[in-house]
Each structure stands twice: as structure tokens, then as C-alpha cells.
Amino acid sequence: MNDFTPTEMMTIAAARALTNDDVCFVGIGAPSAACNVARLTHAPDITLIYESGTVGTKPDVLPLSIGDGELCDTALFTVSVPEMFRYWLQGGRITTGFLGGAQIDKFANLNTTVVGPYNHPKVRLPGGGGAPEIASNCGQIFITMALSKRGFVEKLHFITSMGHGEGGNHRERLGMTTKGPTRVITDLCILEPDPATKELTVVSIHRGVSRQQIIENCGWSIKFADQVIETPVPSDTELMTLRDINARTKKAHQGDKEAA
């Protein structure tokens, strides 16, 4: 078995969450890598949708943004952004949304707007884009983020995308009929919301990672499920697929320096 990095473990664990039957709204970055690894391995019939309106896209390299021409070139078809959001997303036609974020709290709410007071922030982040609507309208949400105290915080300065709000049945009380975040995949472990409280709980730990590492890298008093499993390590096929698409992407975006 090949050695693998924590980021590779996170991406492959995220990819495994997807199936052939999924219609998946894909975020740029780590979510895009995971979704395309799934497409190239165990879920060749998955339908990948990007915010720019591309449906059934099969990129050979990972996009830098939703406006990357590779997405449109390899899509089954492309619709306008208003149609994408109104007909596809708000119409309930997308089973799974795959998101990332700058910060997350214990109820899987995401912040991609500001760190610090809104009017005088320490850091102004890129913003929500389509993520708030994706978080509200997809059947379920998967989130990929590296586990760190900077990212996993006790309290968000700003909630950009609704997770489980204040916990419990908060989504239901607000009239939301979708499941919200059902899994958070990190570089150290996998978390799922407690069925009753909706607080994120560790259900699987990656090989070589200790509980103490997870505790030290989380900004709140993190909880562990009664039965915690070890995440299956990446297979050679999974690793080769991820490394190949990353290599193609690097060559496409940075050029072949050796050839130069």
C-alpha cells in the first residue's frame, strides 16, 4: 500500500461518500477533487453540476473557478445561472451538495464572509457565492475541510451557509425540508451530526491519527461516537487516480517547466 498524505486521505474519503445515483452540486477546490475522483473510480455515472450552469461535466483537469472553460467543454449541456438555481437547485433536483469553507462550527454552519466584526473585519473572505442556496436546497450536504482551530471554531463571526443552525430541529423550524450537512470529512477524521442534537461527532479516525490530535486541532470540546471506526486507507487505484488528475491540473495551469 502506498503512503499517502492527510489531504489525499481527506479527498479520497470524501469521494467514497458519493454514488452513481448522485446528482451533485460541486464546489471549487477540495470538493471538486473529491467528486471527480469518485467519477473516475467507483461512480462513473454520477452527474456533476457546477454553479456556472454546466450539467454532467467530466473535466480532465480540475477547474480553477466555476468559469473554467473545461467545465463547459465537457458538459452534457449548459444552462443559464438563473435556470440552474431556480429550476435545478430550488426545484429539488440535486441530491447532494459538496462544499468547503473558511470556518465551521459544531452544528456545521459555514462562514466564508468575514473573520471579526462585519463592518471592521480582521479578514474579508471571498463570500458565499451560491453556497447558501446549495446548503439550503440540496438533499444533503457533504463538507470537506482540514481540521484546525482556525477553521473549526466555537462561534462563527458570520454564518454564510446554514448547517444545523442552533442544533436540534432548527432547520425544520425554519421550514427547511432538506437534510443539511450529513458528513464533514477532514484530514484527520470524519464527523457526522448527532441524530438528536445535530452536534458534529467523530465517527471515523484516519490511520495514524490519535484522539488527542483531533481534540487539539478543534476549537470546541469535540465529541466522539460510542463506536468509532478506523477510516479504510486509500487503495492504489484511488491514489493513482487522484495524483494523476492533480498532475494534469498542475501541468495545465502552470505549464510544463521541465519542457521549458
- Indicate which residues carry an active-site annotation: 51
- Closest to 56 measured CA to CA, from 100, 91, 16, 26: 26
Cβ proximity of 152 and 99 under 8 Å: no
Between the alpha carbon of residue 2 and those of residues 45, 243, 248, the distances in Å are 27, 12, 20
Q: Which residues contact 196 (CB under 8 A, 6 or more apart)?
A: 168
Q: Which residues contact 259 (CB under 8 A, 6 or more apart)?
A: none
- Closest to 37 measured CA to CA, from 238, 184, 186, 188: 238
Cβ atoms < 10 Å from Cβ of 253: 12
State how far the Cα of 74 lies from the Cα of 59, in Å rounded to an integer: 6
List the 189-193 sheet strands across, edge first: 77-78, 54-55, 47-49, 23-26, 96-99, 140-144, 181-185, 189-193, 200-205, 223-230
